[in-house]
Amino acid sequence: MALSAGLEALTVALLGSVNDGLLDDDVVPLVIAALIAAGVPEKRPSDVVVDVSSVINAEPGFGDGT
């Protein structure tokens, strides 16, 4: 119970810091650490972060040039 509460607090603090503009630098290591703390296997967090960042940086549209 205490571990899940700590993880929840870490996640909320991370999201709050991003929303407040306090984390302008590369937050990838923080996100990977949070995912590992949540129990995601060691290799998977890096893959998730790369996948999400590619979606965030993608151009709008449906992939067919429209």
pLDDT at 63 over 80: no
Position 30 scores a pLDDT of 80
Tokens, residue 28: 């990838």
Residue 54 pLDDT greater than 80, yes or no: no
Are residues 41 and 32 in contact, defined by beta-carbon separation less than 8 angstroms? no
Enclosing H/E stretch for 9: helix 2-19
The number of CA neighbours under 13 Å toward the Cβ of 58 is 13
- Whether residue 9 has pLDDT greater than 80: yes
Residue 29, pLDDT > 70, answer yes
